[in-house]
Amino acid sequence: MRVFLAVDVDRRLSYKIQKIQKDLIKTDAPLKLVDSENLHFTFKFFGEINPNQIKQITNITEGKLENYQAFPLHIKGTGVFPHPGYMRVLWLGIEDPAKFSELQKDLDEEFANMGFKKERSYTPHLTIARVKGAHNKEFLADKIHELQDIEIGKMDVDKLVLKKSELTPVGPIYTDLHEFFI
């Protein structure tokens, strides 16, 4: 199974994110938008794993979350990966990501002990679109710059979700495998 650990976006914020996606589409750049039901912050992408690894991941996550409490998350600002000269992923960021990053690093350390590759330079982000070509790149870059300080809103991080990802020709299908409450 292809699996990852994530924080789902509060549905109350989805309409604001969809509004930004519509603004980005107006640039006529070749974009593949992330469906609103698939919006999430990825904590860890595991790739193809077996049922035994899922049990280990579940045990580690449950154990680590006992040391944490729910915390607020403020979604604000836009960015791109890998860099503005070559945009492949458009994302929304987090203002003051300290608590989010602390939890991610704590979990990542444990997952590295299981043999998963440790994240080198993790940037908490919410992918909203993928760029599928260079057409109208300048307009897209201008729009991203214009939205760099956009305020989306606040939500509480009170659970993580282990998700299965099935790749299909029309896009990924995510299935929740396990919820971990903080």
Which of 40, 74, 83, 135 is labelled catalytic? 40
Q: Which residues pair with 31 in a beta bridge?
A: 131
Q: Could you give the CA distance from residue 109 to residue 116 in angstroms, rounded to a whole number? A: 9
Which is nearest to 70 in space by CA: 180, 158, 160, 179?
Answer: 158
**Exposed, middle or buried by CB within 10 Å (0-12, 13-18, 19+), for 73?**
buried
Q: Is 178 a catalytic residue?
A: no
60 three-class SS: helix
Q: Determine the residue type at 138.
A: E
Catalytic residue list contains 40? yes
Q: Which of 74, 83, 125, 135 is catalytic?
A: 125
Which residues 6+ apart lie within 8 Å of 99 measured at CB?
A: 71, 157
| Active-site residue list | 40, 125
